[in-house]
Structure 1
Amino acid sequence: MKKKNFKNSLNLLFQAGLQPYKQKKNEKYMNLQQLKHFKIILETWKKKINKIITKNVFNIQDKSINLPDPIDRASQEEEINLELRNRDREYKIITKINNTLKRIENSTFGYCITCEIEIGIKRLEAQPIANLCIDCQTLSELKKKQIYR
């Protein structure tokens, strides 16, 4: 699973025309160059998702044919429901991307919203919409597991 996430984050960097950010010695965390790097990544990701959403809308419109066979109709409805769920997930990601872009503008990007420590460049490249450090994210996931048990 980690390899897949790493591969996806590298794919996103590649699509943005970027290489993984190499932090220079004594470089200030979240300087203008780093913020620009992440802004390009986020905007590229957002454009990619918008293209997928647009393509899926046309796919749903093309598939909405009234089929006489109930089994074919049920299969078609299931495919459309799956695409609608995917589109909903993509809209949620776009909302998170927009919120992250606002955090870049407000100079709060790269810092944990809970404890305000640095999230880290490598973590942000792997998950650009991350707003919690590893420790706070782990704690949040443990709390969710306890609540939903």
Structure 2
Amino acid sequence: MANFDQSGTPGTQKRAEMKVETFLPDGYRPAEDEPFMNDKQLEYFRCKLLEWKAELLELSAETLEGLAESARNVPDIADRASEETDRALELRTRDRQRKLVSKIDAALRRIENGEFGYCEKTGEPISLKRLDARPIATMTLEAQEKHERRERVHRND
């Protein structure tokens, strides 16, 4: 079982040791012929989300270590500009990862609340294929497309 502290941040264990304990059969994948969001499917997605979160947090820690190591005074202005550009890119990536971890936490809460797998707009089940590809999805594909079309129209106003 992964060693997470109160904030959901992994403890001092290495990534290789951060396997999520599961009671699923080896190679289990949710199937359309099962009852939707049964215990096995919920456990499958919970494990998938926890492993994804652990991976992102590890990458995040590596990014911070890399930024700390690269914080040196480079006398050449071109080298310094290049290093600052790299640093800005790393920070942007880190921010995107932080937002993704927040979405993963929200999906884990939806699993606990019994709301996972259902569209927040229509209440309809989100397809298993969509959830497997993007387990943080909160809308069916149709509702998401409609939402994005509406966003584009309002953005162009």
TM normalised by structure 1 equals 0.84
Deviation at 1:69? 1.1
Tell me the percent identity: 34
User: Which one has more relative contact order, counting CA pairs under 8 Å at least 6 apart?
Assistant: 1
Selected match of 1:60 from 48, 63, 67: 67
Deviation at 1:24? 6.2
| Structure 2 unmatched ranges of 5 or more | 1-18
| Distance in 2 (alpha carbons) for counterparts of 1:135 and 1:90 | 26
| Distance in 2 (alpha carbons) for counterparts of 1:23 and 1:56 | 37
Matches within 5 A, 1:1-149: 19=27, 21-23=29-31, 25=33, 27-149=34-156
Cα RMSD for the two superposed structures? 1.8
Q: How big is each residue's C-alpha offset from its partner over 1:51-110, in whole Å with a ceiling of 9 and x where there is no partner?
A: 000000010011111111111111100000000000000000000000000000000000
TM normalised by structure 2 equals 0.80
| Distance in 2 (alpha carbons) for counterparts of 1:79 and 1:132 | 35
Aligned residue identity for 1:90: Q
| Distance in 1 (alpha carbons) for counterparts of 2:51 and 2:154 | 35
- Structure (1/2) with the larger helix percentage: 1
| Distance in 2 (alpha carbons) for counterparts of 1:67 and 1:87 | 23
Deviation at 1:31? 0.7
| Distance in 1 (alpha carbons) for counterparts of 2:155 and 2:134 | 24
Deviation at 1:148? 1.9
| Distance in 2 (alpha carbons) for counterparts of 1:129 and 1:93 | 9
Paired residue secondary structure (1:29): coil
| Distance in 2 (alpha carbons) for counterparts of 1:23 and 1:81 | 42
